[in-house]
Amino acid sequence: MLSSASARMPLRAGAAARLVAGQRRPAAASIQAVLRKATPGASRSVQSVAQTDRDTITRLLYSIGTKREVERHLRIFSSSSHPSQPAKFAVIKIGGAVLDDIDELALSLSFLYRVGLYPVILHGAGPQLNDIMEREGIVPDYIDGIRVTNAKTLQVARRVFQEQNLKLVTALEKLGTRARPITSGVFSADYLDRGKYGLVGKITKVDKRPIEASIRAGALPIVTSLAESADGQILNVNADIAAGELAKELEPMKIVFLNDKGGLFHGVTGEKLDVINLDEEYGQLMKEPWVKYGTKLKLREFKELLDHLPRSSSVAVISANNLQKELFTDSGAGTLIRRGYKLFKHSSIEEIGADRFRQVVHDRDADVLSGFSSVTEVLSNLKNTPYSIYGDEPLDVVAVVSHPEGEIPVLTKLLTTRQGVLNNVIDNVFAKIKKDHKKLFWTARSDDENRAWHWERAEGSFTRNGKSLFWYGLRDVDEVEDAVELFEERGRIERAYLPVSPSKPASTPAAVPSGVRTYSTLARRAFGGAASTPGAKRGYTTAAVPQSKKLALIGARGYTGQALVSLLNNHPYIELTHVSSRALKGYSLEGYQSKGLVNPADQGKEVIYSDLSEADIERMEREGEVDAWILALPNGIGTRFVAAIDKGAKGRMVNVGEKKGVVVDLSADYRFETPGESEWVYGLPELYNRAEIRGATRISNPGCYATSAQLMVAPLLEYLKPGASPTIFGLSGYSGAGTVMVEGKDGGRPQSAPKKSLESLNGTTLGYALTDHIHEREIGFHLSRLFPETVAAAANPSSFVSLKQQLQVGFIPTVAPWFSGILMTASIPLAKRLSARDVHALYEDKYGKEPLVNVFSLNDKENKEKGRVGGVVPVLSDVEGKQGWSVGGWGIHSSGERVVLVGGLDNLLKGAATQCLQNLNLALGFEERAGIPLD
């Protein structure tokens, strides 16, 4: 996955690397504060603390880096830090000076444990040993920087090492972090030179079994740098050397040296070095006059160590209080040392080998893999224009830049492996390209999960027909458009990127809702546009600029329509141009003013209700008067409007790749279409294929009850008891019953009135459609798509297909005496025993990265600290007016074979309008959360 934050740049030969301040951010203090508060009391087990605090700490990490980079690092590290695969995450060497601030150190290490990581920790104790020896009158003796160790010195050293080891273990245990002292049994050694250094050892063997046993037991191993000879003599070993030998045996991803300085520093400027790529820079660095003594020794040791390790391994020198920033952000905070690779630049594929290049294109090129192009076509296109190929020796990254004389270069191919991303080779290659070319264009798919990487490196962009065009180094919009026109004429890019308008893009609106990104046809970052993005990096004004779209809403008078209008009023690049309601024809649309996204002259104008006929709709679609339609109509009414859109779409001309006839229907008319056999796609992004929604023109919006129920049951389908059915009881606010139109006073504007009200409910609840509710069938129909075949076959071995089609749930709907918000209680029978923690983990795994899903913690206090009024169990105020869906409760029957959950959402938002906007954004190529405010 490509980085979403500024990646570290290489240290150029003869010069210092890009330097970072490395100051500790307030977020780090917040993480430490959470850890202090999380110390377990008598009623909480250590394991419980580690589990329940992980979510909080992970979310706090987002404040020191972007969510994408934090989650990427967590995922990478977690895959190499599990009791089943121990000691692959990190070896952390702690200098003795760092042990003096034991509380800060323990908090930083406990933080790693809380997010499920198990580093191997090895410590020294030099300063503490010196203090005690001075108090006891023992004069230290050094030869070649090595402490001469006699029996008296070793006796003191053993005592000091054990004391410091126990001190660290105790500090960690107080924080609820399990730790195991390992003061012997890891290192075997011979005498380094007994006559010269005394009882000093040279490590000959590392036994990793005590370390692996500690991690398998769920405890951090705390190791001292003492070794044993073959005859059982304890020998003193330099802690840095011990850490290196340990790393050679374990081959971890990270080797971290914690010191009190926080990094390596330039000998002339005194500034901290950010990154050192040894393969490129080591030779030149060692010749620098300021690289001498300890610095030269450290660099030599680091190179010797990394030469023995996989290229994915790296060394970091960092202070304890910046450990989180170093490990979980791309910018880091200390000094990162890695091997890297020497980069190349060639003018023909023959220089790297035609067969090697062919294989790279065959294995990595997205267009080749999807069948839109072939290796032969790629090679043929290279013959048409001068080009350069950039990359690294093992071809983890290969980039092709086309640069005809007198024209702006285009990066036509950027092909990378996972290792090329993890080791930041891609950033180094891009830096080399940028050094050679002051201007550059390149493209990426609009749904590319790595678009943030492109945004960070571009000065502008726009999206068209499913692809985004990025650039840097251009002065103004006219220069961009002239270049793109020339590219299209000469076939250097697809004829798909020019904006809809024939020349200049639409102006950015003068007034923008707070906290919403402003978009127009082209990016304004490099051209001093009016729009600004709060918190944008590098002073950029905005990130990327999709083409604004025009929308028609049919049936806007009900509660769902009103909720949609409210969201659309803050949408950064959808303009609501038409609203249709027979009862309100001629009246202005309340709560909405044109933003002028399509026509700047319309900014601030009111939108007037019309009564669109089927002929009007057919004409509007045929002439491209709108880009998308939302149908917010009662069941059974929208089909004739869809037919009119179909007829209009057949006669509509669009550019290649552009969509026509995009419809999101909020009724139940198309919710039971069979996937793969119909053009209609069921739009529940958190459960079903987002790619299907992105590619669709017809999307059926799920029902409100059905949305919540499916989200509740889905993570447990694999564990569902064969032949049993989940039972779901739902309470909905009376807005879910819909509205009727009533005459306004004195013949004025008609008004919407609820079909049910507080008065009609008389303060109680009202059950309705107690069996065979349409949502009951909808829940079972779609969950069947996720139902595991193994579970189905166990229940009915002869015909699991028919069983999947008949997956049943029992659903009981009830109207409650409040306006909006649904609370549902699900009782789900299980085929095997599960604990509350097991169930919670399943929901975290399923929804932990979904921005509109709120998985409540198992801890009541933690939930309330996060503002969840009901604690573990969601209550009405936790869902009413909120954009997303919440789940909690985690009730487990004493048998362990039935779980009871409570879930909820606002029926007008995630149950209707918000989900509609998610689907519309995906279908139109926008970011899924565009226009949807954070709760």
Q: How far apart are CA 828 and CA 830, in angstroms?
A: 6
Triad 182, 186, 192: Cα angle to 5°: 125
Report yes or no: 649 and 626 within 8 Å, Cβ to Cβ: no
| Token couple for 694 | 């992105």
For the question of residue 916 being annotated catalytic, the response is no
Report yes or no: 787 and 718 within 8 Å, Cβ to Cβ: no
Q: For residue 782, which amino acid is it?
A: H
Q: Radius of gyration (Cα) for the chain, nearest Å?
A: 32
Calculate the alpha carbon distances from 517 to 678, 927, 931 in Å: 36, 11, 9
Report yes or no: 471 and 440 within 8 Å, Cβ to Cβ: yes
| Token couple for 585 | 């024809």
Report yes or no: 813 and 709 within 8 Å, Cβ to Cβ: no
Q: What is the 3-state secondary structure (H, E, C) of 211-265?
A: HHHHHHCCCEEEEECEEECCCCCEEECCHHHHHHHHHHHHCCCEEEEECCCCCCE
Entry field: residues in the chain: 935
Q: Which of 447, 346, 452 is nearest to 399 (CA)?
A: 346
Report yes or no: 123 and 165 within 8 Å, Cβ to Cβ: yes
Q: Which of 460, 470, 459, 486 is nearest to 404 (CA)?
A: 486
Q: How far apart are CA 678 and CA 669, in angstroms?
A: 13
Calculate the alpha carbon distances from 111 to 229, 344, 573, 851 in Å: 36, 40, 41, 23
Which candidate in 91, 704, 714, 922 is catalytic?
704
The helix/strand/coil state of 78 is helix
Q: Are strands 680-682 and 662-665 parallel, antiparallel or unpaired?
A: unpaired
Report yes or no: 203 and 228 within 8 Å, Cβ to Cβ: no
Q: How far apart are CA 680 and CA 703, in angstroms?
A: 15
777 — alpha (psi -120 to 50), left (phi > 0) or beta? alpha
The helix/strand/coil state of 641 is helix
| Token couple for 399 | 């980039």
Q: How far apart are CA 679 and CA 645, in angstroms?
A: 14
Q: How far apart are CA 778 and CA 707, in angstroms?
A: 9
Q: How far apart are CA 696 and CA 16, in angstroms?
A: 51
Q: Are strands 410-416 and 440-445 parallel, antiparallel or unpaired?
A: parallel
Q: Which of 769, 777, 788, 779 is nearest to 708 (CA)?
A: 779
Tell me the angle at which helices 354-364 and 375-382 cross, rounded to the nearest 10 degrees: 130
List residues with catalytic annotation: 704
